[in-house]
Amino acid sequence: MSEQDDEPLDVLLREFFRDQLDVVRGRAEEHFRQHMRAASTTAWRRRVWLVGAFVSGLAASVAVLCAGPLFRHFERAPQLVRQDPPGPGPLAAAATLISPTFEKTVQSRTTDEGIVMLGDTPVRVVHRQSVERTRWFDGQDNVSAEEETPQDDVTLIKLTTY
């Protein structure tokens, strides 16, 4: 079959494909440009969101940093008010110079020593021994001080006789 014989077929096919496909040409480029615009918008929104999140986080951090000491002040203040200051002495004076963190413990023992006659009156003898220990410490300077106050009380309780 010669080229001449194929000519009508060639013409028919060329016209057919032109008829079918020329009408849909140009869509791909337009679609690509739309895709790029959409991608750009999405990227811009994501960037705005990230910047917003970062700024919000930063603001929250700054707020916490600013408010932190205030909260710590409120946490410590009741301790200072509640605790009686130690008695006069060099340690008490020192305690006022260092960080106000301190602890106070009291250990005591009470014993019943029985009934004795005090003249004509029977009395019960109650013996109480205690040690009050106060410790100040400053974590920042790693300094601590300690004071112990022993106490020994004897209480006589008058007993009623019938």
Partner 1 sequence: METPGKALVERARRKDPEAFAALIRAYERVVLSVAFGVLGDPAAAADLAQDAFIRAWERLDDLREPERFATWLCGIVRNLAIDCLRSRRPVEPLLGREPAADPRWTHDPTDEVGRREQLAQVAAAIAALDEVSRPAIVLRYYEGLSSRQIAELLETSPAAIDMRLSRARKQLRAILGDLMREPKSVHEKG
**Residues of this chain that bind partner 1 (CB under 8 A):** 1, 6, 8-21, 23-29, 31-33, 35-36
Dig out the tokens for 110 from the structure. 């009470």
Query: Whose Cβ is closer to partner 1: residue 20's or residue 140's?
Result: 20
Length of the chain counted residue by residue = 162
Dig out the tokens for 82 from the structure. 């509640």
Tokens 């106050």 -> residue: 149
Q: In the bound complex, what is the minimum distance in angstroms from residue 44's beta carbon to partner 1? A: 15
Query: Whose Cβ is closer to partner 1: residue 29's or residue 75's?
Result: 29
Q: In the bound complex, what is the minimum distance in angstroms from residue 32's beta carbon to partner 1? A: 6
Query: Whose Cβ is closer to partner 1: residue 44's or residue 71's?
Result: 44
Residue 122 one-letter amino acid: P
**DSSP codes joined into one string, 33-67:** HHHHHHHHHHHHHHHHHHHHHHHHHHHHHHHHHHH
Q: In the bound complex, what is the minimum distance in angstroms from residue 23's beta carbon to partner 1? A: 7
